[in-house]
């Protein structure tokens, strides 16, 4: 491999690809669940792929991790108990633990190898793993949520891979019913919801499955994410009742540094482009 080699993820539904110029392959492991690869790139730091799909780069992961955590945690009135399903690179866990009011943050990823690779090649994402409020489990998130005590969780964040393989069951009514049961009445579910440019049908179906599970309010938040197909991604928040009101003043309480998320981004994040709003009936 030379400094001019390119690593691509081809994305067939849009006939497009995302690529990085790479220097060398640093590591590879085939876990019981998936193939994990790590590359060193010329301009984006390290790159992690799972089964050929880009997961994390050193340079742009902050966009995703901040948007998966802060809009929900600053919207919830008092988030104390947080559960992250997936999220094995530990970046979402780190962001959640920046909130001083959080008392426990459980991260349940099916694949220990993802966390071991992150510790080695993305140590900055794992810097809060030793926080006494963190509990890091390696288990199937579907079973974890099914066994959660009813009404025991304030925020569930589903930081999953795409809905194929082990993550397929993290996008359906049965899983969302477990989340609904585990959440307190004012709780919030957050699910990574793929590209709003390429996969609007998937987002619509996912929101429908959440609705069948009992959730009544939904808010899809688009954000830039250069390393994922189309470069534009989203997460979707759901609530049992009460709707979503993204108020700038809620996010002004932020007493820690962020790189993308701000009070203005918090308020603006709920603005959906008309073609997305129409497709989602939002």
- Provide the annotated binding site for spermidine: 65, 89, 159-162
State the CB neighbour count (10 A cutoff) for residue 216: 12
Give which of 84, 98, 103, 76 is closest to 259, Cα–Cα: 98
Q: Choose, by CB under 6 A, the member of 51, 131, 140, 205 that binds ligand SAM.
A: 140
State the CB neighbour count (10 A cutoff) for residue 267: 17
- Buried-exposed string 198-209: b where 16+ CB fall within 10 A, e elsewhere: bbbebbbebbeb
Residue 220 found at the interface with ligand SAM (CB under 6 A): no
At closest approach, how far in Å is the CB of 276 from ligand SAM? 18
In sequence order, what are the beta bridge partners of 191?
Answer: 158, 236
Residue 159 found at the interface with ligand SAM (CB under 6 A): yes
Residue 222 found at the interface with ligand SAM (CB under 6 A): no
Stretch that binds ligand SAM, among 21-29, 72-80, 102-110, 272-280 (CB under 6 A): 102-110
Nearer to ligand SAM, 79 or 166 (CB): 166
Residue 109 found at the interface with ligand SAM (CB under 6 A): yes
Nearer to ligand SAM, 142 or 250 (CB): 142
Residue 19, φ and ψ in degrees, nearest 5 = -140, 155
Nearer to ligand SAM, 175 or 246 (CB): 175
Q: Choose, by CB under 6 A, the member of 41, 46, 161, 178 that binds ligand SAM.
A: 161
Residue 223 found at the interface with ligand SAM (CB under 6 A): no
**Residue 157: Cβ-neighbour burial (10 angstroms; 0-12, 13-18, 19+):** buried
Taking CB under 6 A as the criterion, which residues in 228-247 touch ligand SAM?
none
Query: How many residues sit in the footprint of ligand SAM (CB under 6 A)?
Result: 22
Distance CA 76, CA 81 (A): 11
Collapsed DSSP state (helix, strand, coil) of residue 39: strand
Nearer to ligand SAM, 29 or 263 (CB): 29
| Residue from 159, 201, 245, 250 carrying the catalytic annotation | 159
State the CB neighbour count (10 A cutoff) for residue 120: 13
In sequence order, what are the beta bridge partners of 134?
Answer: 105
Distance CA 52, CA 198 (A): 18
Residue 79 found at the interface with ligand SAM (CB under 6 A): no
Nearer to ligand SAM, 88 or 187 (CB): 88
State the CB neighbour count (10 A cutoff) for residue 164: 10
State the CB neighbour count (10 A cutoff) for residue 35: 13
Check if 12 is active-site.
no
Residue 167 found at the interface with ligand SAM (CB under 6 A): yes
Residue 192 found at the interface with ligand SAM (CB under 6 A): yes
Residue 55 found at the interface with ligand SAM (CB under 6 A): yes
Residues serving a catalytic function are 159
What does the binding site for ligand SAM look like in residue numbers (CB under 6 A)?
55, 64, 85-89, 108-111, 114, 140-142, 159-161, 166-167, 170, 192
């Amino acid at each position: 491999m030379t400094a001019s080699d390119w690593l691509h993820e081809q994305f067939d539904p849009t006939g497009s690809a995302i690529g990085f110029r790479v220097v060398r392959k640093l590591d590879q492991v085939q876990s019981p669940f998936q193939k994990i690869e790590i590359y060193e790139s010329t301009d984006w730091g390290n790159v992690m792929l799972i089964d050929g799909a880009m997961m994390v780069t050193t340079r742009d992961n902050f966009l995703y991790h901040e948007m998966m955590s802060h809009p929900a945690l600053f919207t919830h009135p008092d988030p104390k108990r947080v559960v992250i399903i997936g999220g094995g690179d530990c970046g979402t866990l780190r962001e959640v633990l920046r909130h001083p009011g959080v008392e426990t943050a459980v991260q349940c990823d099916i694949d220990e190898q993802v966390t071991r690779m992150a510790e080695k090649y993305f140590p900055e994402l794992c810097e809060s793993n030793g926080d006494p409020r963190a509990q890091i489990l390696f288990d199937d998130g579907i079973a974890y949520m099914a066994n959660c005590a009813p009404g025991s969780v304030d925020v569930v964040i589903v930081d999953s891979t795409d809905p194929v393989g082990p993550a397929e069951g993290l996008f359906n009514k049965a899983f969302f019913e477990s989340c609904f049961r585990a959440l307190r009445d004012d709780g919030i579910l957050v699910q990574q919801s793929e590209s709003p440019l390429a996969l609007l049908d998937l987002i619509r179906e996912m929101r429908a499955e959440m609705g069948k599970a009992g959730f009544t309010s939904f808010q899809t938040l688009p954000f830039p994410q250069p390393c994922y197909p189309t470069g534009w991604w989203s997460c979707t928040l759901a609530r049992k009742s009460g709707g979503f009101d993204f108020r700038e003043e809620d996010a002004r309480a932020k007493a820690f540094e962020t790189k993308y998320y701000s009070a203005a981004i918090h308020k603006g994040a709920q603005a959906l482009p008309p073609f997305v709003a129409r497709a989602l009936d939002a």
